[in-house]
Each structure stands twice: as structure tokens, then as C-alpha cells.
Amino acid sequence: MTLVRKNIAAMQGYVPGEQPRGREYVKLNTNENPYPCSPAVKAAIGRVCTAGLQRYPDPQATEFRERAAELFQKRLPAITPDWILCGNGSDDVLTIVTRSFVDSGDVIRFPRPSYVLYETLASIQGATAEVVDFEPDWSLGERFTAPNDRLRLALLANPNSPSGTMIPPEAVARLAAALPCPLLVDEAYADFADRDCLSLVADNERVLVSRSLSKSYSLAGLRFGFVVGQPHVIEQLNKVKDSYNCDALSIAGATAALDDQRHFQRNRAAILATRERLAGDLRKLGFECIDSQANFVWCRHPRHAARPLYEQLKAAGVLVRYMSYAGWGDGLRITVGSDDQVGVLLEKLGTLLA
């Protein structure tokens, strides 16, 4: 007998990437942005503090939704603030979506290898996770859209983590049309990609697109994300979220970050340039490395096992993410840091492989 529900007792619990205290690492393991956020964020948070924190925040984060709707107008002409729901990070949005669509005993479908949290969300809900392997070319075959009476939600990280690969929007539209349930396209990394799936939301009420300010806007510590969907769907999700799921500081900070597009574009361009350098130099070291549309690269070495490499790098002061998927395989996911950080990584790897 346990005190908690059976599915909770039986599950592992999500293990986030290490956030070490004490020793200073070159930290390339959780896809954080190496550059600081816009100074406008700190100014906006300071103004909120000065005004005082005794009042509850705006439960709908209206200020943020208005700015986001303006920003995405070009990608999705129909968008207005009521197409957007904000969350305490996009992980909160994923929880709200799961709780809205999925009952215990239902099925959630997602690809492998992908974001490990999806499995956790299914376990908490008492739902069954149906995992569909990516094809060798990182597309998704017919199994991903196969009928299943209990299927209630499909999740697709696009660009995907840990592979950094991307399914083109036209193909995602076909998957969504063929699926018998809603599809959440998790676009935590879309700001680093050439394309995105925002426009699909207008054509299909069953498509939801989630975004995060953690990576591309350098705000992992602030916690802010959002989901875009048709207003009648967003209205339902609104009933499920905590009333005050975003605090006054994060709403003000996230809005200021979105407003400073120059800062965003500059950091983005730097990361994309470093990404190409990192992938190229890893290949020179003999790694197999997939072209990435995100702020990390996924690689494996034909002659060196991934886990010992991860451990030796850690001992040398460089943290990368070792990922292993039961029944699939393993590899290293390396965040695109600053040029200096990437330089240290490559130098240590060069020594280890020599």
C-alpha cells in the first residue's frame, strides 16, 4: 500500500539535466542561452518591484499576449490575444494541455527519441505512452498517425530534442490531418530553426503550438512559455490552468524580452554561427553529427562510447548531456554555448580522443 496513486508510486519521476552547485563548469547540458537576456528585462522587473508585489498578477498575462499577437501577425494573420495562453515555462503549458485532453487509461503518442518529459506527463496522468520511433531519415511514418480508440493527444517536439532535426511544416500539417486527436507541436527550439508551424494553427483546430522564452530569449531562470491555438480551444485550456500560473515579474520580464527583437536577433545569429562551427569541428574529430535546427547538436562517435566521453568531459570541467533511450541507443547532446565555451569543449575532446 502506498499513500499516493499507483501510477505515481510506479513512475520514475523526471530527472532534469544537472544544475551543479559549487564547481564552475563549462555548462553545455541543458540548452541554456550563453548570452544574458535583454537589459530591458531587468528594468521591467525592477519597475514591478518598485510598484510593489502585494497585488495578484494579471491571471491572463494580457500585456504579454498582446505583444506576442503583434509579433506573430506576419506568421499567423488571424492571431489575436485570445489565441494565446501563457504558462510558468512551456513545461507548465504541456501539463495544462495533457490535463485538458487526457484521462487516465487514455493514450498519449510521441516519437522516440524525444523530450523525456512526455513520458513523465503520461505517467502522472495515468495514461499509456505510445512511443513511435523516428524513421532513419528522422521523418515519422504511418505508425505515428495510426488509429487507436484511446488516443487523445500526440506530442511532437519540432525541432526535436535530442536530435535537432525538424519535420517540415507541410509534413506536420499532413500528420495533424491524419491523426485522430489533437497534436501539440512543441516549438521550444523553433526560434533557432529556418521554419515553424505557427500558421498550421489557423487551418486546423486540433493543432497547438507551444513556445518557450527559456532558450532563445535567455530566460530559463524566469520561467515563461505559451501555447497558441484557436480561441475556442484556448478557452477550454484556460479552465485547467492555475489562476495565477505566471507571476508579475515573469509577465513583465517576458514582455520586455519579446519587445527587444534586436537583442534577440543578435544572440540568435551568434548561436547559429557557433552551431555551424561546433558541428563542423565535431565532424573533424570523427563524430557523426546531424545537421541541427536548434541550439544544440546531437552526436555519436563510431569508436568512442558516449557515456565515458561524457564522464571524462565532466571530470575535465565540461558538462554535456548524455542521453540513453532504452531500446534505441545513446549519444551526446551538446548545447551551442559561446565561442569560448565551445572552444574549451573542442580542446578537451581533442585531448580525450587523441
Ligand X SMILES: *Cc1c(COP(=O)(O)O)cnc(C)c1O
Binding span for ligand X by CB under 6 A among 10-18, 49-57, 124-132, 212-220: 212-220
What is the size of the binding site for ligand X (CB under 6 A)? 12
Per the structure block, which three cell numbers stand in for 237? Answer: 485550456
Q: Is the alpha carbon torsion for 328, 331, 337, 339 positive or negative?
A: negative
Residue pair 40/272 in contact (Cβ under 8 Å)? The answer is no
Residue 233, exposed/middle/buried by CB under 10 A (0-12, 13-18, 19+)? Answer: buried
User: Is the CB of 212 or the CB of 245 nearer to ligand X?
Assistant: 212
Distance CA 63, CA 79 (A): 15
Question: Is residue 329 helix, strand or coil?
Answer: strand
Task: Please tell me whether residue 342 binds ligand X under the rule CB under 6 A.
Answer: no
Task: Please tell me whether residue 32 binds ligand X under the rule CB under 6 A.
Answer: no
Task: Please tell me whether residue 98 binds ligand X under the rule CB under 6 A.
Answer: no
Q: Which member of 29, 120, 161, 230 binds ligand X (CB under 6 A)?
A: 161
Task: Please tell me whether residue 125 binds ligand X under the rule CB under 6 A.
Answer: no
Residue 114, exposed/middle/buried by CB under 10 A (0-12, 13-18, 19+)? Answer: buried
Question: Is residue 111 helix, strand or coil?
Answer: strand
Task: Please tell me whether residue 33 binds ligand X under the rule CB under 6 A.
Answer: no
Task: Please tell me whether residue 157 binds ligand X under the rule CB under 6 A.
Answer: yes
Distance CA 304, CA 309 (A): 7
Question: Is residue 289 helix, strand or coil?
Answer: strand
Q: Which member of 212, 230, 267, 295 binds ligand X (CB under 6 A)?
A: 212
Q: Which member of 214, 218, 274, 341 binds ligand X (CB under 6 A)?
A: 214
Instruction: Give, as ranges, the residues between 75 and 94 that touch ligand X (CB under 6 A).
Output: 89-91
Task: Please tell me whether residue 111 binds ligand X under the rule CB under 6 A.
Answer: no
Closest approach, Cβ 258 to ligand X, in A, equals 14
Contact residues for ligand X (CB under 6 A)? 89-91, 115, 157, 161, 186, 188, 212, 214, 220, 225
